[in-house]
Chains A and B, each alone.
Chain A
Amino acid sequence: MPFRFPRKTAAIILGVAWAAAARPAPAADADAVSRGEYLFTAADCTSCHTDIKNSGLVLAGGRALVTPFGTFYGPNITPDPKFGIGKWSEAEFHRALRSGVDDDGDYLYPVFPFTSFTHLTDGDIADIYAYLMAQKPVAQRSKPHEIAFLFRWRPSLWFWRALFFSEGPLAPLSGESTEWNRGRYLAEAVAHCQECHTPRNFLGALEESSAYSGNPKGPDKQNAPNITADAETGIGKWSVDDVATLLDSGQTPDFDYVGSGMAETVKGTAHLTPADRDAIAVYIKSLPPIRSEKRKPK
């Protein structure tokens, strides 16, 4: 009997010691979480993975994205083990972003922009994983996509991938400045600008030869404008500062304010550092001019 009390005390002491010993690890993680948050915000993942319009729970999925191939719903990406990605290992998460393959080994639909995220660095993917795993789990089932029968059979995506998907990080171009390369990385890999601003072929793949020249049939049937340097149909008359200002506040050079999809994007880019916004602007302004078809005058 007299042994009981000391034993409990010992257990408590051990527990406290264990907690103290465990503390330094989460502190190191906290940096990864905040770096991940920065990238996550810049990529504006929330816009697709939260049903903001209907006050849905954060990252629990549900936002409808209308495409020519059907309506997709961003799934639950909270760390809930059953309905979210709580059971995904870091390696599985890495594979989803790098290769567009889910935890079961099934191909993901390219509506999830893994064609852009494949360019992310290993470190950035690890940070985004750390951030997501630190979020509140939500036990809410993801809505099934409403797509044509043909596309429901995921192995068919093998052909699409063979034709249109090139996997792997972007090698910085040595002839360009550090700022330009940073801007290119942010625009191509993180903020995935091309996913809306580049036209798509009939199979929904980006037409790289017309990169950034606008997509009249963008997500939600919205017209994403030409942002190449063409003076008439693009943003050739804008300065680097003009582009950076738009990314900060949504304001165009003639004091219009963007609405709809780009307004969602600006909610993310507004949180970037001014240096990062400038870098994106430098990169975007360096895009070769491509004349797009002039839209009907209104």
Chain B
Amino acid sequence: MNGIVRRSLAGAAMVVLIGCALSASAQDKEAAVKERQATMKRQGADLKYIADFAKGLAGDEAGAIDKAKDLLAIDPRILDLFVSGTSSADFPGKSNAKPEIWSDWDKFKAIPPVLQAAEMKLVDAVTGGDKAAIGAAIGGVGKNGCGACHSAFREKLPQ
């Protein structure tokens, strides 16, 4: 009798534990979506700071250099932000990452190095101080990095 109670208690505990683990992993994935979106926003804000500085609207050179370096620092982490199971199919309405990212991973992972190369040019331009060159370098980051990836792998803009 005692044995049966103990075994069923252990079984119930196991079910609860597995349930917790599963929901924890679902929460982890949702957190991964949020972290990814926050990181994308941060990159957008960095670029905007540099662009405003280049246009003479706001900001200063030291800040712009910081932001350009921040972009470079984020770059090696980008692929890690795309945890499997976090696509727009897994989180409809929350994630805008197309499932093709994971089904076409080789094509996807080729983009961050291009972004990195463009960002290195941006760091050079910002440190060089020529505002026209900074503008051109921002264009390069946008078109070959952000834009190239979004046009292939990103669903619509969130509203």
Contact with B along A53-70 (1 / 0, CB 8 A): 000000000000000000
* Known A255-B44, A259-B151, A263-B147: A223·B93 in contact at CB below 8 Å: no
Number of A-B contacts defined by CB within 8 Å? 73
Q: Which of the four size classes fits the interface of chain B?
A: 20 to 34
Given the complex of chains A and B, what is the CA–CA distance between A257 and B151 in angstroms?
8
Given the complex of chains A and B, what is the CA–CA distance between A222 and B98 in angstroms?
12
Chain A residues, CB < 8 A from B157 = 225, 252, 256, 258-259, 262
Chain B residues, CB < 8 A from A251 = 142, 146-147
When the two chains form their complex, are residues A298 and B151 in contact, meaning their CB atoms are under 8 A apart?
Answer: no
Given the complex of chains A and B, what is the CA–CA distance between A224 and B48 in angstroms?
24
Is residue B154 contacting chain A, with contact meaning CB distance below 8 A?
A: yes
Is residue A264 contacting chain B, with contact meaning CB distance below 8 A?
A: yes
A contact face: mostly helix, strand, loop, or mixed: loop
Chain B residues, CB < 8 A from A258 = 150-151, 157
Pick from B96, B153, B155, B159: contact of A295, CB below 8 A: B159
When the two chains form their complex, are residues A259 and B154 in contact, meaning their CB atoms are under 8 A apart?
Answer: yes
Within 8 A of A (CB), among B31-77: 40, 43-45, 47-48, 51
Chain A residues, CB < 8 A from B155 = 222, 259-260
**Closest approach, in angstroms, between the C-beta of A275 and any C-beta of chain B?**
19
Contact with B along A230-258 (1 / 0, CB 8 A): 00000000000000000001111011111
Is residue B131 contacting chain A, with contact meaning CB distance below 8 A?
A: no
Known: A259-B150, A259-B157, A266-B147. 10 other contacts (CB 8 A): A224-B156, A250-B150, A255-B47, A255-B146, A256-B44, A258-B150, A261-B156, A262-B156, A263-B152, A298-B94
Residue ranges of A at the interface with B (Cβ–Cβ < 8 Å): 222-225, 249-252, 254-264, 266-267, 295-296, 298
Q: List 24 A-B contacts (CB under 8 A).
A: A223-B156, A223-B159, A225-B156, A250-B142, A254-B48, A255-B45, A255-B48, A256-B40, A257-B142, A257-B146, A257-B151, A258-B157, A259-B153, A259-B154, A259-B157, A260-B154, A260-B155, A262-B156, A263-B147, A263-B152, A267-B151, A295-B159, A298-B94, A298-B158
Residue ranges of B at the interface with A (Cβ–Cβ < 8 Å): 40, 43-45, 47-48, 51, 93-94, 96, 139, 142-143, 146-147, 150-159
